[in-house]
């Protein structure tokens, strides 16, 4: 009889442990999903900068450009931002990327803390009225999505030095290039930037799975904000 009670007690303990762990985690635990930081700063010798034992990461620069409403827009790293580079006459990756971005804009249209910035790499052609028409035809009529233009060199420096993305006007090197899609070389990547100006995510704009991941990871930053 004693052995029977002992076995029953052991069984109750074995069955009870998972339930106890579940309840403990439910009440006291907190799931933590942290996003990585990209692009550590390098010192003059090319070594990664470390301060007080922590790696120092690149901070994207503040900038001022003109949006599709012909208003000056100042980017100051105060919001969670999605940044990409495109041009309105692009017939390859840009239409796909920006259509995918519609899902992001729609998901966060009521969040003042989330912004999308699409910078043209063809600013001579992409004047504000061109960008306004482009946004309207795309259906990107969201207050949190700005299409930006300005000085060409300024934008190219932002892309290369600030956001670490390649961009080039091939016609400056080969005057025989007439295909617009071969003229402006740029990345299809989307960058997720936190409120400290650190790049926290890199996504392929043409990849729907990456867009889904971007939506999730914006929510992670919103929770940590």
Adjacent-strand bridge partners of 186: 167
* In the predicted structure, residue 24 carries a pLDDT above the cut 70: no
Are 24 and 62 contained in the same domain? no
CA distances from 107 to 8, 63, 95, 194, 212 (A): 53, 26, 19, 17, 11
pLDDT at position 9 over 60: no
The reply to whether 36 falls in a domain is no
d(CA 127, CA 7): 80
Q: Is 143 annotated as a binding residue?
A: no
Q: Measure the CA–CA gap between 218 and 200, rounded to whole angstroms.
A: 10
- Rounded to a whole number, what is the largest CA-CA distance in the chain? 97
Structural domain of residue 87, as residue ranges? Answer: 50-224
Average predicted confidence (pLDDT) for the chain: 88
138 and 98 in contact (C-beta within 8 Å)?
Answer: yes
6 shares its domain with 95: no
* Distance of alpha carbon 126 from alpha carbon 28, whole angstroms: 54
| Global pTM exceeds 0.95 | no
Q: Are 180 and 91 in contact (CB under 8 A)?
A: yes
The answer to whether 37 is a known ligand-binding residue is: no
User: Has residue 124 been placed in a domain?
Assistant: yes
Query: Looking at the structure, do residues 185 and 96 belong to the same domain, yes or no?
Result: yes
80 and 136, same domain (yes or no):
yes
119-159 residue pLDDT tens:
999 999 999 999 999 999 999 999 999 999 999 999 999 99
User: Count of domains in the chain?
Assistant: 2
pLDDT at 77: 84
Q: Is 186 annotated as a binding residue?
A: yes
Residues 82 and 47 sit within 8 Å (Cβ to Cβ): no
Q: What percent of the chain has pLDDT over 90?
A: 79
């Amino acid at each position: 009889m004693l052995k029977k009670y002992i076995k029953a007690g052991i069984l109750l303990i074995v069955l009870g442990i998972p339930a106890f762990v579940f309840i403990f985690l439910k009440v006291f635990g907190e799931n933590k999903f942290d996003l990585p930081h990209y692009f550590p700063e390098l010192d003059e010798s090319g070594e990664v900068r470390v301060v007080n034992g922590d790696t120092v990461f690149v901070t994207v620069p503040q900038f001022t450009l003109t949006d599709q409403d012909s208003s000056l827009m100042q980017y100051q790293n105060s919001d969670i931002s999605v940044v990409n580079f495109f041009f309105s006459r692009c017939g390859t990756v840009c239409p796909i990327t920006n259509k995918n971005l519609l899902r992001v804009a729609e998901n966060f249209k009521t969040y003042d803390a989330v912004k999308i910035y699409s910078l043209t790499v063809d600013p001579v052609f992409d004047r504000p009225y061109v960008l306004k028409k482009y946004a309207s035809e795309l259906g990107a009529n969201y207050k949190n999505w700005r299409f930006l233009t300005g000085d060409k060199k300024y934008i190219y420096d932002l892309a290369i030095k600030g956001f670490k993305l390649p961009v080039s006007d091939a016609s400056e090197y080969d005057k025989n290039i007439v295909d617009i899609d071969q003229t402006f070389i740029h990345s299809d990547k989307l960058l997720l930037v936190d409120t400290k100006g650190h790049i926290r995510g890199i996504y392929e704009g043409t990849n729907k799975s990456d867009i889904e991941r971007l939506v999730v990871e914006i929510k992670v930053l919103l929770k940590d904000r």
